Every structure is written in structure tokens, then in C-alpha cells.
Amino acid sequence: MEASGSDKTGPLSGFSIIEMAGLGPVPLAGLMLAEMGARVVRIERLAKDQAFLKVPAAFDLDRHGREIVKVDLKHAEGRDLVLRMIEKADAIVEGFRPGTMERLGLGPDVAMARNPGIVYGRMTGFGQDGPLASTAGHDLTYLALSGVLHAIGPKDGKPVPPLNLVADYGGGTMFLIMGLLAALLERSRSGRGQIVDAAMIDGASMLASPFFGFMTAGLWRDARGSNLLDSGCPFYDTYACADGGHVAVACLEPQFFAEFCKLLPLDSRFLALQYDLSAWSDMRREIAARIALRPRDEWAAHFEQTDACVAPVLSLQEAPAHPHNRARATHVTTSGMTRPAPAPRFSRTQSQVANLASTDIRTTLVALGIDNDEIDRLASEGVVG
């Protein structure tokens, strides 16, 4: 499947969003918003790029789908140029430490004075206030302080970083987007913008809400690898196969566990002991011994299209070739790169795969009402790239 064209047809078509360049959750939000049809103008600084990952442009999803404008934000005219963009935008998203946008003269008060309807999305690790608000951190930092990291990993091992999916992208990107869309929806009634304070520590904590309920009810131990969903349970875990690959077993409900027992096969005595914790050690040993007898892909074929809830653990390179992923076009190939396709899907206003970023600053600024003479002057004075 090749990437689609550049026409904006998604559910956010007609919305204009300014993205202040950064790393992590804000760029992913920018990509998703662009693929849902929004016009996303990414403001980058003129200073030399200090990114620690040098990604070729064709593969740099932090910039795809955007119009790139490089601006000297320390120059008064640079700040004014961004404010002129804000006047015409529906939303702005930034991921700086608290106070940075204010020091640049682009804080919420100034922005809302120019555009009372602007939705101002702020993405930070610790939020806009609190004793750690100005402290540096990354996904793992916020995950550690949320209590979530403590719960991830084997019983007799150390906490395991779940990539940077939980705080950065789950608790960050997704909560930022949800907040923006909620504020835009509310604006359709009130006509007024507002600030969205999206903190990764808040979002990661919110994702763990059910487990706080389980723990209070006495159904969850605050000990890693000791519970139903954290590898403590033998029928919700991964197992090594004969070829060194792994399968994931997730037959939580009795009817699915019964199917698993029949197909593995597992001693029928375990059917009545599924939730008897005293039987779990023996059950785990027997499951592990059986699965170790055959290679991963044989098990995948054996359990395919059954309700035993067993799946091969695929690598990132393998996943796009899986028949289900191929049938749903879950991945797309563009610019020589295979990547996940836009999600979620819409029945009428379909999202489109973002193309390479546009760096035609003249076209972008003309569309904002800035004439060519002024653009030439701003460029000659080093205000824009």
C-alpha cells in the first residue's frame, strides 16, 4: 500500500494547528493531527539542530505532514510572526518546560489576547506546577514516579522499561490530543479557547486507574510479577519455544482456558484449578515444558483462528507481514519506509498518510497573508530561514 496524496480530507480538515518543535509526545501528536486532516505548521528554531537522533528526512515522522517554518524566536519580529500565525490558528501545542513560552513572549496570556478562541496545548513531564515542574525528566522518570514502572517486569527481576510508550506516548501524546479535541469541541459551544495542561505523570497515572481499584478491592498485590496481568499468572504470560522464539498466552476466561488446555494439551486436572493460586506453579511448569517442544511458528499455526488466545511474539520487522495486519493494511509503505498506518479509522472522513514535510516557507507565509516583499525582508534580516 502506497501513501496517499496531499489533499486534506480527514475529520480535522479545515483546522489549523501550530506545533512548536520538540521531541517525543508533541511531534507524534502533530503527526496524528496532520494525518486526521489538520493543517499543522511546525515552528523550528533557526539555531543549529541539537537532536540526538539524526533521522533522514524521508523517515523523520516527527516532521512529516507539516509545513516547516524556521524562525528566530529571540528576534522581536520572529515572535511577532508567530503571534500573527496564532491569530489565524485553532490551536497551538508546545512541549517546553514551564515558563519557556512566557519568556519567549508567546505564553497563553499573550496568545489569547491575540486570539481568544485559541486552544493552547501544553505538554510537560510534571505539569505546569508542583515542586518538580521545572525539573528535567524523560518517560522513565515519570513512569517511575507514577508507580506504574514498579508493576512492570518479572517477579524476581528489576522493573523493565516498556519502551517509551506509556508515559511519552500513552500518557503524553494521547492525553494531549484528547484534551485538544475536547477543548475544541467545547469552543464550538462557548466560542472561547482555553489552556490544556497535559502532564505525562498525570496521564501515565490515569492509565493505571483500574489497578488502583483492583488494589483497594484486595484483588491486586503491590508486588511486581504477582498478579493476573503482570506475568504472575501462568495463563497470561510469554513462553519460550524450541527455536528461541516466544508465544504470548492470554486465555483469561474459563472458556478460553479450556480451549487452550485442549489444544496444548494441558493436563485436564488444571481445568478446575485455573484460578487456584496454589496450582499456578505446577501449571506454569507444565505449560513451559510443552511449549518448549515446538518452534514458535508451529505453535502459531496450531493455535491460529482458535479461541485459545495464543499468538506468536513478532518483531517490529515481522509484524507488517502477518496476514491479519496485511488484510487490514495496518502498515503502509512510503518513501522506502514501512510504518503503521494512520489510526483510528473513520467511515467518511478518512485520514491520510502524511507526506514529507513542506519547507516552502514562502507558500506558508503567503497563505497567512504575508506578502512577498515582507518575506524577503524577514529572510534577509535572519528572522526566518
Tell me the pLDDT tens digit for each residue of 72-87.
999 999 999 999 999 9
Q: Which of 75, 138, 322, 331 is catalytic?
A: 138
Full domain range(s) for residue 292: 236-326
Examine the residue annotation and report whether 138 is marked as an active-site residue of this protein: yes
Query: Same domain for 298 and 341?
Result: no
Per-residue pLDDT at 7: 59
pLDDT digits (tens, 9 = 90+) for 237-251: 999 999 999 999 999
- Per the DSSP assignment, residues forming a β-bridge with 247 are 239, 312
Domain assignment of residue 143, yes or no? yes
Q: Which of 72, 90, 168, 230 is catalytic?
A: 168
Residue corresponding to grid cell 488444571: 270
Give which of 225, 229, 198, 226 is closest to 211, Cα–Cα: 229
Domain count, the chain: 2
Domain assignment of residue 227, yes or no? no
pLDDT digits (tens, 9 = 90+) for 113-168: 999 999 999 999 999 999 999 999 999 999 999 999 999 999 999 999 999 999 99
Per-residue pLDDT at 54: 83
Residues of the chain with pLDDT under 70: 1-7, 48-52
Indicate which CATH number applies to the domain containing 273. Answer: 3.30.1540.10
Query: Same domain for 110 and 191?
Result: yes
By the 8 A CB rule, do 135 and 145 touch?
A: no
Per-residue pLDDT at 55: 86
Examine the residue annotation and report whether 168 is marked as an active-site residue of this protein: yes
Last residue within a domain, chosen from 287, 302, 326? 326
Give which of 378, 328, 376, 372 is closest to 1, Cα–Cα: 328
